[in-house]
Amino acid sequence: MTRARFEAMDFDCLMELAAENLNEVTTEENLKEFAIEKLGNNDFGMALHIINAIYGNPYNTEFYRYDYSMGKLEPPTPITEKADIEDLIDFEEE
């Protein structure tokens, strides 16, 4: 993706594209499914970790930044603006 395309893209379209292509960007729905899966595996600590992040989100946003491989080391963080994922994108030359 070029910097110009990033800047021109609508926030919601960018987030949908990012959720499909970047491992660290996920949706609230995917986080909920992950928490339910952890409950089913009796991993209550991990489920609570995810649920607390969703419940405590003051921004009412659908997208989060979260590395599933990090477990409970980092909580899911609400994405509220394009700049929140800018460092995840390898920009192409224009």
Please spell the DSSP secondary structure of 10-40, one letter per residue.
-HHHHHHHHHHH-TTEEEHHHHHHHHHHHHH
pLDDT lower than 70: segments of the chain: none
* Whole-angstrom distance, CA of residue 19 vs CA of residue 10: 14
Give pLDDT, residue 25.
98
Give the dihedral of Cα atoms 75, 8, 12, 63; nearest 10 deg.
0
Per-residue model confidence as pLDDT tens digits over 19-44:
999 999 999 999 999 999 999 999 99
Q: Can you give the pLDDT at residue 83? A: 97
Residues 6+ apart with CB under 8 A from 85: 14, 15, 18, 22, 24, 25, 65, 79
* pLDDT on residue 93: 82
Strand order in the sheet with 77-78: 25-27, 63-65, 77-78
